[in-house]
Amino acid sequence: MDVNKLMITLEQKHPGELEYLQAVKEVLLSIKDVYNMHPEFEKVKLIERLVEPERIITFRVPWTDDRGDVHVNLGYRVQFNSAIGPYKGGLRFHSSVNLSILKFLAFEQTFKNALTTLPMGGGKGGSDFSIRGRSSNEIMRFCQSFMEELFHYIGPDEDVPAGDIGVGTREIGFLFGTYKKLSHKWNGVLTGKGIEWGGSEIRTKATGYGALYFINQMLQTKDVDIAGKTVALSGFGNVAWGAAKKASELGAKVITISGPDGYIYDPDGISGEKIDYMLELRASGDDICQPYAEKFNATFVRGEKPWTKKADIYLTCATQNELNENDAQMILKNQPICVAEVSNMGCTEKATELFINEKILFAPGKAVNAGGVATSGLEMSQNSMRLHWSENDVDEHLHRIIHSIHEQCVKYGRTSDGYVNYVKGANIAGFMKVANAMMAQGIV
């Protein structure tokens, strides 16, 4: 495999799709040695097939606001890879959404889902619609219009969307209601449903909880106890909330959260009702974190990211490329114990390179945040079985899955000097599973 040549071809085919190209390059660099040991892969152009989505659906989403004005948004579903199961991955509603971002997310999802041990392919979708400042009725009408088109392409054995940025239980409810009305079927076509209507216990917390279980395992490889450690994290949405909740439950002290407006520094620690307040901030739809500072007498730093603060553990919990080379240099000066992406591709290519070159404990989103989609997979199982598992049952599965993901990373990522390159480990483990499935299924 010639990574440079492959990347030049891809850049020509998909000019300007920076996030997608970044995600592909990272995986190619990780897997090239393993790939080259398998001439049978090269013979059937496995990698050329794997880097292209199987299918992309784009559609218009017209809807009417509360004043009667008509808006037209763009809707997408990227069905990336179905080698090991039906397409599975979230829907993102955010003004920044474009095809490059959804292709990167769907590509990442393919490997992440392979790591979960569950039979799920990779997909992602969404819209450039923003819920910011929209009434619940407007959001409902948007979701109805979005699903009127999407419902042709999804199904419990075909493609099972879930939430992502801007899509939570409320939006999944509106989407599910419309799917049900159009299809005349009640089935597990979406995950992240409410507990009373087919949702799984733990799902809302699973991404953050799973991330902390994973980080705990990373720390254990160094005999470090998470209790008493300080955590700087970004974001204040569902993922940041779950991470903060579990971190403080494990005895760590979360000292920052952040939003598009800036970050909050709370040296007393963000725990208890302060964590629940994050849900209120999110529900307000204003997409700012500043009110936290006024309510709890903490510091608000406008326009900055939390990475300047000294902490033991740094977690990206907001969005892609939110931690760059400069941030990484600053963080490294503080000699952190661990840096982990909880958001998908939270670090830029250069930042990731710096952390790995310094041989610090560092892990990529597709391993760290896989607990979210894994619990979606458990929701699919429960829906198919027409059963509802207890919180304990789901948490046990989640623990087992995270343990297995960590083991796979160590198995494929351990280098000759003993350092575990989790990026390489996650990419190779995910790739090998998908590649073997694609080999078995012929050139399709």
Smallest separation, CB 377 to ligand 2IT (Å):
8
Q: Which stretch binds ligand 2IT (CB under 6 A): 36-44, 61-69, 84-92, 147-155?
A: 84-92
162 binds ligand 2IT (CB under 6 A): yes
Q: Which stretch binds ligand 2IT (CB under 6 A): 74-82, 85-93, 270-278, 430-438?
A: 85-93
What DSSP assignment string belongs to 306-365? GGGS--SEEEE-S-TT-B-HHHHHHHHHT--SEEEE-STT-B-HHHHHHHHHTT-EEE-H
**Spatial separation of the C-alpha atoms in residues 209 and 203, rounded to whole Å:** 10
240 binds ligand 2IT (CB under 6 A): no
- Choose among 101, 113, 121: nearest CA to 21: 101
**Spatial separation of the C-alpha atoms in residues 393 and 410, rounded to whole Å:** 26
Closer residue to ligand 2IT (CB): 244 or 342: 342
Q: Which of 124, 193, 246, 305 is catalytic?
A: 124
CB 114 within 8 A of CB 434: yes
Closer residue to ligand 2IT (CB): 109 or 234: 109
Q: What mask of x and - would describe binding to ligand 2IT in positions 362 to 381, judged by CB under 6 A?
A: ----------xx--x-----
Bridge partner list, 75: 59, 127
382 binds ligand 2IT (CB under 6 A): no
204 binds ligand 2IT (CB under 6 A): no
Q: Which stretch binds ligand 2IT (CB under 6 A): 82-90, 270-278, 345-353, 432-440?
A: 82-90
Dihedrals phi, psi of 185, to nearest 5 degrees: -135, 140
Smallest separation, CB 209 to ligand 2IT (Å):
14
Q: What mask of x and - would describe binding to ligand 2IT in positions 4 to 23, judged by CB under 6 A?
A: --------------------
Closer residue to ligand 2IT (CB): 158 or 358: 158
What DSSP assignment string belongs to 176-239? HHHHHHHH---SSSSSS--GGGTPPTTHHHHHHHHHHHHHHHHHHTTT---TT-EEEE---SHH
Instruction: List all residues 6 or more positions away from 57 whose beta carbon is below 8 Å from its beta carbon.
Output: 76, 77, 78, 79, 125, 150, 153
**Spatial separation of the C-alpha atoms in residues 219 and 313, rounded to whole Å:** 10
**Spatial separation of the C-alpha atoms in residues 247 and 205, rounded to whole Å:** 12
Which of 85, 86, 90, 235 binds ligand 2IT (CB under 6 A)? It is 90
Dihedrals phi, psi of 221, to nearest 5 degrees: -65, -20
With CB under 6 A, what is the number of residues at the site for ligand 2IT?
A: 11
Smallest separation, CB 99 to ligand 2IT (Å):
17
Site for ligand 2IT in 98-137 (CB under 6 A): 109
198 binds ligand 2IT (CB under 6 A): no
Instruction: Count other Cβ atoms within 10 Å, centred on residue 395.
Output: 18
88 binds ligand 2IT (CB under 6 A): yes
Which of 17, 164, 201, 312 binds ligand 2IT (CB under 6 A)? It is 164
344 binds ligand 2IT (CB under 6 A): yes
**Spatial separation of the C-alpha atoms in residues 72 and 143, rounded to whole Å:** 13
Bridge partner list, 4: none
Smallest separation, CB 191 to ligand 2IT (Å):
5
Active site residue 124: yes
CA angle 246, 320, 334 (to 5 degrees): 65
- Report the interface residues with ligand 2IT, using CB under 6 A: 88-90, 109, 162, 164, 191, 344, 372-373, 376
Q: Which residues are catalytic?
A: 124
